[in-house]
Structures are given as structure tokens and as C-alpha cells.
Amino acid sequence: MIRVAFGSVPKDSGTFTFYRNMRPALLAQGIDLRCVAAGRDQASLTDPAFADEGCVLLAGKSSSLKTQARAFAGWCAAEQIDAVFGVNSPAILSALPHLPAHVRALARCANGFEEGYKLTLIGQERLARIVALTPRLQEDLITGYGVSPDKIALIPNGVPPERFAAAARAVRGRGEALRLGFLGRLEHRQKGVMHLPDILRHLEDAGVPFQLRIAGQGKDEADLRRALAGLADPDAVRFLGSLRPEEIPGFLEETDVFLFPSHFEGCPNALLEAMAAGAVPVAWRLPGITDFLIDAGQTGFLAETGGTAEFASHIEDLARDRAQLQAMSRAVSAAARSRFSRDTCVRAYAGLFEAVMSEPPPDWQPLPWNRFQAPALFRQHPLARILPAKQRKALRSSLGRLRRRPPQPAAAPDPAARPRVFQIINSIDMKRGGAERMARSLHGQLQSEGIEAHLVSLEGFGEGGVPEGAVTLGVSSPYDPRAFSRLAAYARRHIRPSDVVHAHLFPASLYLSLLVRAGVVAAPVLFTEHSTSNNRRSSLFGRAVDRQVYGAFRQIIAISQGVSAELKAARPWVKGVTVIPNGCRLFFDRPIRRAPKDAPLTLLSAGRLTPAKNYGAALEALAQLMPCNLRYVIAGDGPELEALRSTAARLGLSEAVEFAGYVPDIRALLQEADIFLMPSLWEGFGLAAVEGMNAALPVIASDVAGLREVVGPHGQAALLVDPAQPASIAAAIRRLAASPELRRQLGQNGFERSQTFRIEDYVSAHLNLYAKVRHGYGL
């Protein structure tokens, strides 16, 4: 028997539905799948009506993540657990570094959004396999997060066809009114429920009789009820609340057309169950997700996201042609039984577990519990340590009421007033990276030039303090829907047509583009592209989003020729791209002279600890050189910290590697170092490389667009390496370590090259561009 712990909570959710569908069938295959919930929060979410004999709740009264993680580790030992699926369990994911090597760790990538990918990759160095539920998730993990393809298993969810057999035999479209159904969480950000009122209004305008039943609960239910109350026939809509599992087949049997307006998903069980039951789905086209599950025109219909008229027209076609509706009902049920049956899914998982358990245990040393550190995603907000939940809720409610007060009318703009510059960015936390640093630097330099400059951060300020003229919109994530509404309110109050508005990063750029198209912002707008790569470029949906974003801006700024070239290759229709290389406040006005020394040579890297920075490959390169007289300092903070610590320990490098954390002033480290290493998988520019060159350090840099442009040709100021090959990095380190003269010559060349990236030139180029975009605005 293979014993597997699966992180979930017994409640109405897709994750638990997967567990409930799979457990009995996997038991028959010799796999005991257990549902593990842990901690007070998950205990409060548990619905006993959903629990079965495989469910367990650990540390149900504890709010301490360390206590929950230790309870889980103890339970694993007592139950002789062989493998764990962390899924979205903070306790299990936090325990991964502390579990013994014989317990295999797997991940299940179930949602195509940033936090979903971050959850999947917690403990990445321990993961034997990652299950991707759809091709889109698989592709994003490979291209966006650097996961090796051979570590990913593509296994869609499966549903038990016998559970929906009676529903599949029902004849669709028997009554005059078409029976519509929605099943899921009532919230808009992911599930898109606020599209439903517009879809139904289109049906009313077309004279289509319908009845809609909505099954589910969620935070946007009140808004949805208000919006649907404005229909010509509000009685055509019924809210059923959450359904028990045994009620779902009957609900789907009475559904002719299943409405699925989600903005992003993984492999949604609700959609698969509707298909198995013969309800014909209509959904947004989500590349690699809904177009993988639905054969458009055969087993359902797809519309472009947000196109409610197109969505409604597909429903209208089914209402007018009941024979087509019935034929598609039979086709979708047959396809679901063939492609997405539980038996197919069970065989795939059984094969996966058997393959993983047949492999030798990894070379892994668990961390002692005195080194426990919660993953960044689960770190408690400081307010939670001070106020009980009831008071926190009351405080949030009070702030919400304040935010809903209508804004005071803005004063009429003064035609004689000097133009102002507004920068809009996700965050100005200096720990985040180069874009945040450049926005802060530009803001300060504009003020020193006498420009009235405003810096608007969607999130809190973070590391670096609060610059004069900066404001925060107070959201914890730029993807919080409130970020858009608050930015809209801010723009109405403060931004005049005579101003210049400059956006950085996504989704700040998306929000500003929407405000421009809605007429809220009439000022000229610019956007700086900071990266050579992003996840949107790998999907059709991302292409549609980028048309919305880039098309709204008067000018696009690329921070390097490499960024410009990659943007034009990916989006050839983008016009008005200007290259303004990043600028840097140079620390040193003359090259640092480094005397020969007997002490270990020091390699230095500086930057946020993320997969893109590729520090794991640098550690592997260093391991290839051991034993050697080298010391490696990594300055920076980020989500990969514990994974990199574990990698260093596994490679026997704990004594040679220092994780210095975030260092606000890096000058001392630059002076002490002998070689600067930047092994990034991609870079839009590479500010840290400029700082390394300015300190007269020889640079080892990845041969990638953007970074290659900053450090120059191979052998001039830097040695260029293949970031995917630790051996290439190791060879460059070996070469520089063996030649003090080569280090001196590259360092001298680098210092001279750094002078071309002065902050003063960067600001001057922006002022010239601002003047150009304002031309024709009456100034």
C-alpha cells in the first residue's frame, strides 16, 4: 500500500472534489489517499458533511504554522506516509524542508495565476514531480518558471461517469424556457460572475426565454444579486446557495446550458462534471485550458473573454435549435466519459506514484526544526499578531466604508500650472528589483529638476522608506481588484490632461490602459517595458491582453535594445518604442585597486532570490570546483531563500556560501569582492551588473538579451556564459580565479563601461521624451 497525504479541506471546493472522486478508486489500486487539514483556520472551514473516513484534522486549535507543520510531520511518521501533495496546505508546504528523504514530495499545479504557480513551486528542490492539469499550466511552468519538462506530468482531472449517468440520459431543451446553470464560487476576479447580468440582458434583448439557477456562495453575491435585480424579469433567476455533493447530479440534470465565465482556471471540476452530465458548456476561450477541455462547436462553445454579446449569441443559437442542443448534449457527455473519466485519471496517478516510489530516495538532509521558516506566501500579517480576528474584520469594514464615500470634486485645472509627472507602479519595495529602484530614482531626480513628481504605488511602500510625493493605494497584491478601483478614484481626483502619466510593470499598466480607454485619464501616457519575457507572450489570451495594454500608450520605453527586440518579435504590431537604457547612481568615481591576497577569492551576486536569477545553477557550478579557495556571497531576499539554503547544504557548500539577505547599501560588499556573478535566465537590463562593473569587478554574466548588452562583448568587461549549463559558469569562475591579470583587465574595462549608464543621462532622456509626448496637448 502506498500512503499519500493530500492537503485539502473537507468543504465545497474543486480541490476537495478531486480528492473525493479519487480516493475510493485509488484504494482499489493500492494507494491510500488521505485528506489532511491543519490548523485553526482550516478547522473553521471544514464542513463535516463533506468529510469521509480518509479525512484528518491536525492541530485544529493552533494558529502557529510551525506547530501545524510539526504536527503534520509527526502524523506522517505515525501513519508511515510515503508521499505528500502539499497542494494549498500551509502546514504541509511549510513542513517539506523538514521531512525525511524517504517521504517523496509532489506538487499539483491547479490554477493558472501567479499565486497558484508560487504555491506549486514551494519546496521546488524537493519535488519529485509536478502534476499539471492542463497544457497551459504545463507550458507556463516550463517557459515562465524554468521547470524541467521531465519533472512535469500532464494529468487532467477526472470525474466518475456513473455518478452522472442518469443526468446524461436526460433530454435537453424540453421546455419553452432554456434552463441555464452556474455552479461555483460567487466572485468575479476568477469566476467572472459579474458577466452574468450582461449576458442575460443580451438574451432578453434577443427575446430568448430562459431560467437561470445559480448554485454557490461567495463574496460578490450581494453585488450579483443587485445587478440581476435590474433584469426585465428578475424572477427568471434563482439563487440556490451551496449544494451538497449528492445534489450536484440532479442540478446538472436540470441544466440545458452550463455557463462558465471564469477568467482563469486550472482544470475545473465543475466544468468537467457539467460535461459528464450532458449540460452543454459555454465558456470564455482560455488558451490551453477551456479550448483543451471543450471542442468548440462540437462539445460546447467558446467566446473571447469579456465578449458578453458573443457569449449570449451561442446560448441563443442553442435556444433556437433544440436539435443541435440535444446532439451537443450527447456529444459532450460521451467526450467527457472518454477523455476525462475518473478511471483514466486514476490510472495516470497510480502510474505516477509507482514510478516515483520506484526511484531511489533523493540525496536530501532534512532541516532541523530550529531552522523552521514559513514560506513567504504564508507569513502572517503584522496586524494579525496585535488584533483578534473580530477586531481586524471591524477595522476592514470601517476602512471599506471610508473608501466608498464619494470623492470630493476636483478643482478645475489651472491652464497656467506647470505640468506634473505621475508614475504608476505595482510596488516601490526596494527588495523587489530593478523596476522599483528605477521608479524611485527617476522620481527623486525629477523632483531635483524642479518637476512636481508623484509616485503612486499600488502596494505598500516596503523597503526603502517613503519618498516625498509618494502615495500607496494600500492593497497587499497588485492583482487585488480593489487596486483598479482605487487607482481610478485617485486619477479622477488628481490627474489633469496637462500632466504626464508613466506606468511600470503589469498589472499597473493594464489598469492605466483601461482608465485611458474609459476616458478617466486624458493625459498623455507612457509605459516602460522592463523585461525581455513574460507569461502573457506564450498564450493567445495574453496576446489579447497585450493589445489592450500596449495600444493605449502614446509611447513605449524599452530599457535596453534587447528588451525592444524581444518586444517587437513577440508583438510586432506595437508602435512607438523608444530605448532608454537604465541609469545608475555610480558609487565609485575611480577604479578600486585590489591587492593580491591569500584569503579565499570572493564571488558576489546581488538580486532578488527568484527562479529567474538562477542562483541554483551558480551553486551547482561552485560545487563542481570544490574543494577550492572560493567564497560565494549572495545578497538579496526572496521566495527562493530556503530552497537555495537547502541546495547549498545538499551540495556540501554550507561553509562556502553566505546568504547576506537584503543589503540596502551594497558598496562594502562590492569593495570586498573579487568577481561579480550574474547567472540570470533572463534580464531586461541588469542594474547589478553596472554596479559590479563600477566597482571594477570582473563580471561573469549570462549570455542573454539585455544583460549581454549591458556588459558588452565576451572578454571585454565580462565573460559570457550559458545560464542553463553550470559547467559553463564553473569554467568562467575557474578561468578568472587562475588569472589576477585577467580579473584586473576586465575590471578596468568594466569601470569605464559603467560610466555610460549614469542616472543623469537616464533622467535627461526621460525629460526629452515627456516633452515630446506632451506636444499637441496645448502646452
Does residue 14 surpass a pLDDT of 90?
no
Share of the chain above pLDDT 70, in %: 94
Confidence of residue 533 (pLDDT cuts 50, 70, 90): confident
3-state SS string over 499-511? CEEEEECCCHHHH
Say yes or no: 48 and 97 in one domain.
yes
Task: Tell me if the pTM is above 0.85.
Answer: no
Write down the pLDDT at residue 395: 41
CATH number, position 167: 3.40.50.2000
Does residue 234 surpass a pLDDT of 50?
yes
Which strand (E) or helix (H) includes residue 56? strand 55-58
The one-letter code for the residue type at 105 is A
Whether residue 528 contacts residue 554, with contact meaning beta carbons closer than 8 Å, is answered with: no
To the nearest 10°, report the CA torsion of 459, 460, 466, 471: 50
6 within a domain of the structure (yes/no): yes
Write down the pLDDT at residue 643: 92
Mean pLDDT to the nearest integer, 560-585:
88
Write down the pLDDT at residue 391: 44
- Measured CA to CA in angstroms, residue 401 lies from 189, 406, 473, 489 at distances of 21, 10, 15, 15
141 within a domain of the structure (yes/no): yes
Say yes or no: 142 and 183 in one domain.
no
Q: How far apart are CA 21 and CA 271, in angstroms?
A: 15
Q: Give the mean pLDDT of the chain.
A: 88
Say yes or no: 131 and 192 in one domain.
no
Q: Which residue has the cell 514559513?
A: 374
Does residue 142 surpass a pLDDT of 50?
yes
Write down the pLDDT at residue 3: 96
Mean pLDDT to the nearest integer, 49-57:
93
Confidence of residue 359 (pLDDT cuts 50, 70, 90): very high
DSSP 161: G
Whether residue 316 contacts residue 256, with contact meaning beta carbons closer than 8 Å, is answered with: no
Write down the pLDDT at residue 510: 94
pLDDT in tens, 473-486: 988 889 888 899 99
The count of domains in the chain is 4
Confidence of residue 113 (pLDDT cuts 50, 70, 90): low
Whether residue 457 contacts residue 415, with contact meaning beta carbons closer than 8 Å, is answered with: no
Say yes or no: 639 and 709 in one domain.
yes
Report which of residues 168 and 433 the model is more confident about.
168
Does residue 119 surpass a pLDDT of 90?
no
Mean pLDDT to the nearest integer, 346-350:
94
Say yes or no: 436 and 530 in one domain.
yes
Say yes or no: 183 and 286 in one domain.
yes
Say yes or no: 46 and 150 in one domain.
yes
Write down the pLDDT at residue 319: 96
Whether residue 737 contacts residue 596, with contact meaning beta carbons closer than 8 Å, is answered with: no
Say yes or no: 633 and 673 in one domain.
yes
The range of the structural domain enclosing residue 446 comes to 420-580
Does residue 777 surpass a pLDDT of 70?
no
Does residue 773 surpass a pLDDT of 90?
no
Write down the pLDDT at residue 431: 80
Cell digits of residue 166: 442518469
390 within a domain of the structure (yes/no): no
Write down the pLDDT at residue 322: 95
Confidence of residue 408 (pLDDT cuts 50, 70, 90): very low
Mean pLDDT to the nearest integer, 214-240:
93
768 within a domain of the structure (yes/no): no
Mean pLDDT to the nearest integer, 774-779:
48
DSSP 229: T
Cell digits of residue 47: 464542513
Say yes or no: 568 and 619 in one domain.
no
382 within a domain of the structure (yes/no): no
37 within a domain of the structure (yes/no): yes
Write down the pLDDT at residue 273: 94
Mean pLDDT to the nearest integer, 634-663:
93
Say yes or no: 516 and 644 in one domain.
no
409 within a domain of the structure (yes/no): no
Lowest model confidence (mean pLDDT) among 134-148, 313-327, 497-511: 134-148
Say yes or no: 562 and 605 in one domain.
no
pLDDT in tens, 368-407: 999 998 887 786 544 444 344 444 444 444 444 433 444 3
Whether residue 675 contacts residue 153, with contact meaning beta carbons closer than 8 Å, is answered with: no
Confidence of residue 775 (pLDDT cuts 50, 70, 90): low
Write down the pLDDT at residue 625: 94
Interior angle at CA 418, CA 416 and CA 420, nearest 5: 135
Q: How far apart are CA 757 and CA 650, in angstroms?
A: 39
Say yes or no: 576 and 605 in one domain.
no
pLDDT in tens, 317-333: 999 999 999 999 999 99
353 within a domain of the structure (yes/no): yes
Write down the pLDDT at residue 7: 93
Cell digits of residue 127: 519535488
